[in-house]
Amino acid sequence: MAQKLLHWFDAGKRDLPWRKTADAYAIWVSEIMLQQTRVEVVKRYYQTWMERFPNVQSLAQAKTDDVLRVWQGLGYYSRARRLQEGAVYIVREHQGIVPRSHEQLLRVPGVGPYSAGAIGSIAFGQRVPAIDGNVVRVVCRYDALTGDPNRAPIKGLIEGRVQEWLPEERVGDFNQALMELGATVCLPRAPLCAACPVRPGCQGFAQGIAASLPTPKERSQPTSVRALPLLFRSRGRLLVLRLPEGARWWAGLSVLPTLEVGSASAGALTPLSLGLELKGDSGDLGASLLKTLAQVATNELNVRPIGPLTHTVTRHRVELNPFEIRAPRGGLEGLGERAQAGAALVWLRPSDALKEPLAAPFRKILERSSE
């Protein structure tokens, strides 16, 4: 298996920037970015990140806002925070040098078994597996394993099989080759079996069941949430809400004040609501919104919809119907006193607002409103 995969990998591996270095920090950054994010997207962010935070020390010393701003657009922001936590830990415990020991790597915040295996094998040549979703799929198909790959006994069979395949040398290249096979050939929905270098030994292919493996886990339907983001404009500035680190959604990021229509999110949007509750029949969002805004403004308001969009947060599908609210003669400054639960409200120039570490859907709203 190792010989065939390495030969295939050497002949046509993708040209990726993190494959041009043996620096453990750079490899760590790339592996965290690649979790739940497509390679083409990561390529755009990786170079910028490495220019801004070229080593462990620079990341450990950076302001969290700067870290989130560079990460902005990659999603799953907890990854960026954990990267910085890990950097702070390494500076404190290992003088800024990424530890070589597999056991010590696992103690670094944000580094789990997969990340430790990838860093250890690619940067240090350690004979340890790096099992991600691509590898799980390849092994399940190769050995025709049915059952939940995240639970015993299937999980143990996968780990044992990869350990059995590991070569004595070029372990890092082998782990990358196995992941590359899953990412480019052994695809989730339509595997390219004709191009697979290990097809002759694949039991899933032989039995005609490769495309149905691994056994899919049952997924619950996402909870729907309807919300009204409010883009307040007054005297050439707009209102931005900076959320605390402990916020349930978009922790540590900047958002727009938002009202929830209903209570499906179990209060996740409460800190964004400025203490306002939607008044009237929510079927007519515009009229209901005006009744609500009567609580905070006495001057004439111009209200217009910006255009709906949807966004997924954990297991919630959030339907956003943003409104722009302009106060030609002021009268909205009192909103700045309504922040809740550790959040901070600030009036910013539009150009400065776009420099904030904005959560993705709110950045889209700002960009749309300026078109």
User: How far is 160 from 162, CA to CA, in rounded Å?
Assistant: 6
User: How far is 199 from 214, CA to CA, in rounded Å?
Assistant: 16
CB 59 within 8 A of CB 50: no
CA neighbours closer than 13 Å in the CB half-sphere of residue 328: 4
Q: Is the dihedral of CA 148, 154, 155, 161 positive or negative?
A: negative
The interaxial angle of helices 154-165 and 171-184, nearest 10 deg, is 130
Tokens of 36: 């739940």
Which of 68, 1, 38 minimizes the C-alpha distance to 16? 38
Candidates 31, 180, 324, 356; catalytic one: 31
Which of 180, 16, 22, 27 minimizes the C-alpha distance to 105? 27
Which of 81, 89, 73, 198 minimizes the C-alpha distance to 135? 198
Rg (alpha carbons) of the chain, rounded to whole number: 25
Give the three-state DSSP class for 40: helix
Instruction: Identify residue 8 by its one-letter amino acid code.
Output: W
Tokens of 8: 């295939």
CB 86 within 8 A of CB 109: yes
CB 318 within 8 A of CB 249: no
CA neighbours closer than 13 Å in the CB half-sphere of residue 350: 13
Residue 31 annotated among the catalytic residues of the structure: yes
Bond from prior residue into 153 cis (ω within 30 degrees of 0): yes
Residue partners of 204: CB distance under 8 A and separation at least 6: 140, 141, 142, 143, 144, 210, 213
Q: Which residues are catalytic?
A: 31
